[in-house]
Amino acid sequence: MLVYMIINPLNHIIFNIDEYFTLTVINFPTSDLLHIISGYVHPPMYYLLSKAIAKLGTNLSILKIFSIIPYAIILLISTLKLREEYGWFIVGLFAFALAIASEFFTKYLLLMPYSWAILFIVLSFIYFKDILTKADKKSYILFIIFSVLGSYFNYYAILTSICLYLILIYHTIQYKKDKTKEIAIIMVASIILYAPWIPSLINFLQSIHENFWIPAPTGDSIIQSLAYFAYSGDTLFSIITIIILIMIGLIYYRYANRDEDFYILAGITAYVGTIVLTLLISIIFKPILLARCVLPASAILWLVISIMIGKIKARRMFLISTALIILVLISTAALMVTTSATDYQNGIAQQEVLANITQDNSSLVIITNPNMVMYFLDYSNYCDMYCINQTYIYGENMARTHEIFDFKDLDIANIDDLAYNNTDRNIYLISWGDPDVNITTIPILKENNLVISKVNITNPYSDEIL
């Protein structure tokens, strides 16, 4: 699976709309990048590292492989550390699940911070156990470092880390009161290490309170989030997956060597707790519940599932549990293949459209939505681009942006006139949803809500599309 991941971007590089944001933002100076990211949906660490990696060369395969590295590290830590504790079966099942379950495979191939957040949450959970069993200085330090790093890569990883901290506090109060001082130090150290980004986190929370696209939670979205460790998008299959997980838990409780009870319960609690915290925030503050919010926590849950199955002593029950989880993984593998094929075809189509636009000397591109400007500025140096006039883009001053990218400002009310006065050119609109304009357009690409349209240059106000 690791080899296949590496071959994939080397064979053909494709991007989705979120990756276009990465390609644009890494062109900004570091201070500007931090300013922009403070208003974005992810923390800064991935973008800072990607900017540094991009300086090594213009080959975009390097950035793609950079996102695959976390899975390679997970394989390495599984072989060197987890194998000694649990044996090959448990770490093999865990590593394989993290390649094909849920959306893991897809996220490893994105120019986005998901894969690194997965890595650091897994590492923090591994050393969480060392705190429970050894409580030595090394385990405390590594737990702090990895949990804080995860929080610098993904905001939802913060919620998973909070769950682990709360469980650790409970464990200390219940079983190791003599370690209260150490836990207090952990809490203070973690807050201090994350303090530089707290003002930006507050700024982000304010921005999503004013305007955020995530819908309010529903019964289906909650069920699909609970089953996201394996599959998301179909409520019935999600329910079946949750039932299978409960069955494995009951078999473990009845037939297993239960020397890992607290650790297993901690992993399940961190997974469910991430969803619960997200749901509470959605109800009290603003809807933020997305199934993929539990992707880092899903990695923890797969380690827990692997341990539970590996600890079952009764051979028959072990085989039943293994068969159930293999059925789940076969289903997720089928989903992975289908999703990858669809993403590939959509990516090729999107890439061809944008290539045709940028290679067309007579093209004129209009970005019709303010928040989409940052996603496509990287293409502004290759074509004549107009962006909706605004003072700031994700907190970055528009005048400063003009110093880095070659584009022109345009008032939204003047889109129709611009098209009418340039009927000798090929005019393209990039919009989020169908463009809200009077001129006649025909879509040449639709991917989810991203729409690229072409204006009828013969007669912009005619219903007759050539």
Asked whether residue 193 carries a pLDDT value surpassing 60, the answer given is yes
Q: List b or e across 304-325, with b for residues whose CB sees 16 or more CB atoms inside 10 angstroms.
A: bbbbbbbbbeeeebbebbbebb
Q: What is the pLDDT of residue 190?
A: 95
Cα separation, 164 vs 19, whole angstroms:
30
Least confident window among 107-121, 200-214, 221-235, 272-286: 200-214
Cα separation, 49 vs 65, whole angstroms:
13
User: What residues pair up with 427 in beta bridges, in sequence order?
Assistant: 364
User: Whose CA is closest to 13, among 110, 138, 139?
Assistant: 110
Cα separation, 33 vs 418, whole angstroms:
31
Q: What is the pLDDT of residue 466?
A: 40
Q: What is the pLDDT of residue 374?
A: 86
Amino acid at 454: K
How open is the CA angle 303-219-229, to the nearest 5 degrees? 15
Residues 136-169 pLDDT 10s: 999 999 999 999 999 999 999 999 999 999 999 9
Asked whether residue 465 carries a pLDDT value surpassing 50, the answer given is no
Residues 354-410 pLDDT 10s: 889 988 888 999 998 877 888 888 888 888 999 988 777 776 777 888 888 889 998
User: Whose CA is closest to 143, among 167, 120, 160?
Assistant: 120
Q: For residue 266, which phi and psi values (nearest 5 degrees)?
A: -65, -40
Alpha helices in 134-234 (DSSP H): 137-153, 155-175, 180-194, 198-210, 219-226
Q: What is the pLDDT of residue 308?
A: 96
Q: What's the pLDDT band for 293 if we cut at 50, 70, 90?
A: confident
Judge residue 343's burial from the number of C-beta atoms within 10 Å of its C-beta, 0-12 exposed, 13-18 middle, 19 or more buried.
Answer: middle
Across 64-85, average pLDDT? 94
Q: What is the pLDDT of residue 115?
A: 96
Q: What is the pLDDT of residue 40?
A: 84
Residues 430-451 pLDDT 10s: 998 888 888 888 889 988 788 9
Asked whether residue 453 carries a pLDDT value surpassing 80, the answer given is yes
> For the chain, how far is it from start to end, CA to CA, in angstroms?
46
Note the pTM of the prediction, 2 decimals. Answer: 0.92
Asked whether residue 180 carries a pLDDT value surpassing 70, the answer given is yes
Q: Where are the domains of the chain?
A: 2-346, 360-455
User: What residues pair up with 432 in beta bridges, in sequence order?
Assistant: 450
Residues 201-231 pLDDT 10s: 887 777 666 666 778 888 888 998 999 999 7
Amino acid at 352: E
CB distance 123 to 98 below 8 Å: no
Residues 25-69 pLDDT 10s: 998 999 889 888 887 888 999 999 999 998 887 678 889 999 999
Q: What is the pLDDT of residue 459?
A: 61
Nearby residues of 204 by Cβ (< 8 Å), 6 or more positions away: 38, 39, 40, 41, 155
